Amino acid sequence: MRLAGKVAVITGAASGNGREIALRFAQEGADLVLPDIYFNGADGLCSLLSVQGRRCFATQTDVSNKQEVDQMIATTVREMGRIDIMVANAGIQIGRPFLDITEEEWDRVIDVNLKGVFLCGQAAARQMVAQGDDGCIINIASIMAEVGASGAAAYAASKGGVVQLTKSMAIALAPHEIRVNAIAPGFIDTSMTEVLGAPVKRMLEERTPQERFGHPAEVASVAAFLASTEATFMTGSTITLDGGFTAGFFSAQAVRAAATAAAEAAAEAAAQRTAQGADV
C-alpha cells in the first residue's frame, strides 16, 4: 500500500472524481479527511471507509471561506495529528453563455475553483511546514485551462488559474520538500458532465481519439501516483488525462470515412489489377 500511514485531505469527495480519489487513497492505506459543502455525501463515504478499517471523518466546509478552511485544517490536526497530502478537488461549473453570465455567478465559480485551491493549499502547506517533513499537494485543474467553451468562461478562467497557481506553489514550497502538481481531466463521467445530454456527449466522444469519456477511477489512479513516492521528482507539473482530446484536431467520423474511402480505393485498385491480368 503506497500511502500507508499518510493522512490525506480531499475536498469535494462527496461525489465524482473526489469520491473515487478517496476510495483509491483508502485502498492505498491512507487515513482521510473529507471536507465538502455537501456534508451528508462525504459523511456517508466516511462511514463506508471506516467499516473497511480506515480512519476517516467529514466536515461541512465551503472551500471559498477562509475561516471554514482554517477550522477544517485545525480539526484535521487535532483528530489526525498531521496532514501529509492535500487534494484540492472541489469545483463547480455554471453553464451560461458569456454574454449572459452574471457577476455573482462569475465570482462564485472563481471563488470555489481558484480561491478555494489557494486557501486549501496555503493552509495545508503551512501545517506541512510546521511538521518539518515533506508533503504533497494535488490540485485538480481541467483541459479547460487549455481550450475554451462558450458556456464555460468562468470555469475555463478558474482552471487556467489553477495551473499557474500550481507552478507558483511548486516553486515556493520546494525548499520545504512539499511537491505540488495538478491533474487536468478531460470529459469524465460525473454529475458535472451528465447535464450535457446524449447528443453533446456523443459529439465530444467523436472529437476524442479514444472515443469515450474517462472514468473517475482513472483520475484517482493518477492522483494516487502523484501522492506516492513514485513521483518524488515531480513538482510544478500538470498531467493531462483526456483520451487525446487536446492532442489536436480529431473526428472519429472523419477517420472512419477516410478509412472506408481508403479501403474502397484499395479494393478498386486490386480489381483493376485482376482485370488487367485477365486481359493478358
Sequence-separated contacts (24+) of 73-77 with Cβ below 8 Å: 73/9, 73/123, 73/124, 73/127, 75/33, 76/7, 76/9, 76/33, 77/127
- Extract the C-alpha cell encoding 55: 480512519
Half-sphere exposure of 64 (CA within 13 A, CB side): 13
Candidates 155, 187, 213, 245; catalytic one: 155
Least Cα distance to 154 among 200, 211, 97 occurs for 97
C-beta separation of 209 from 243 below 8 A: yes
d(CA 113, CA 62): 11
Residue 191's contacts (CB-CB under 8 Å, 6 or more residues apart) are 15, 16
Q: Which phi and psi angles does 8 have, rounded to 5°?
A: -120, 135
Active site residue 38: no
Cα–Cα–Cα angle for 143, 216, 97, rounded to 5 degrees: 40
Residues shown for the chain: 280
d(CA 87, CA 185): 14
Residues involved in catalysis: 155
